Chain A
């Protein structure tokens, strides 16, 4: 189904609280060929784990197939580094929808909050929903 402009401004419910564990961070770091070093901190793209969960909730609500989505852009702006033991949630807001060449381009913003509700990181992303090949 197409994603339409009526979604703009819509906020989606917050994700389930995500506890950041050493095991999850080690698995993430090693999967990209690196390692987790306590002194160096978490991989800077680790918060994608939380925003991806929000994206999946959004796609399920809108009945969009994940295989039709490619990532257009992604940006993280951190208020502070994520640390082991953080419990993070986020809620996705659709900030724009436009259609180019049969693809719907969906802009989103997600504020990642810690257990106290303080902002840890703002993630903005553009998702490209690929239309059916003509």
Chain B
């Protein structure tokens, strides 16, 4: 029996907290191709009206991807998405913390919907984050 088939509607998905540092953002920029300076350069971020260097929205969504791998190892992800509703500000020293949790939703055939909650410092940073996995 796979871990996925044991997930039942209404189950709470255990909370996982990740840390993001400026060095992570530099590595992610290189790996993803997204060299937008608002994710690396405080001066530019402030100049365009942001509160500081912010994580790529896709970095935070990638952390959701990691959480899916923890909750349902090996599950095929068939849909993943969210709105980016608040920035994750990453300090020059130390790290920002992002917490991912959620609830198991409907199962339709072999597809399982997951409704997620993604916060940083108690603020929701992703809007309506949802994933559908197969298994």
Give me the interface of A with B, judged by CB distance under 8 Å.
24, 27-28, 30-34, 39-41, 43-45, 48-49, 52-53, 56, 66-78, 81, 124, 126, 130, 133
| Bound CA span A133–B131, Å | 35
- Nearest to B18 among chain A residues (CB) is A33
| Bound CA span A70–B48, Å | 10
A23 to chain B, nearest CB (A): 10
Q: Which residues of chain A have C-beta atoms less than 8 A from B78's C-beta?
A: 77-78
A44 adjacent to B68 (CB under 8 Å):
yes
Given A32-B66, A45-B65, the answer on whether A81 and B81 have CB atoms closer than 8 Å is no
B interface majority secondary structure: mixed
B74 adjacent to A39 (CB under 8 Å):
yes
A45 adjacent to B58 (CB under 8 Å):
yes
Number of residues from B at the complex interface, CB < 8 A: 43
B63 adjacent to A32 (CB under 8 Å):
yes
Give me the interface of B with A, judged by CB distance under 8 Å.
18-19, 24, 27-28, 30-38, 44, 48-50, 56-59, 61-63, 65-66, 68-69, 73-74, 76-84, 87, 127, 131
11 A-B interface contacts by CB (under 8 A): A34-B65, A40-B73, A52-B33, A67-B36, A70-B38, A72-B83, A74-B84, A75-B81, A75-B82, A76-B79, A130-B48
A45 adjacent to B62 (CB under 8 Å):
yes
Q: Which of B27, B31, B82 has the most CB of A within 10 A?
A: B31
B87 to chain A, nearest CB (A): 8
Given A32-B24, A75-B80, the answer on whether A53 and B74 have CB atoms closer than 8 Å is no
B65 adjacent to A73 (CB under 8 Å):
no
Q: Which residues of chain B have C-beta atoms less than 8 A from A77's C-beta?
A: 78-79
| Bound CA span A11–B33, Å | 22
- Nearest to B78 among chain A residues (CB) is A78
| Bound CA span A48–B64, Å | 14
B98 to chain A, nearest CB (A): 10
A33 adjacent to B49 (CB under 8 Å):
no
- Nearest to B56 among chain A residues (CB) is A71
Q: Which residues of chain B have C-beta atoms less than 8 A from A124's C-beta?
A: 81
Q: Which residues of chain A have C-beta atoms less than 8 A from B57's C-beta?
A: 70-71, 74
B38 adjacent to A78 (CB under 8 Å):
no
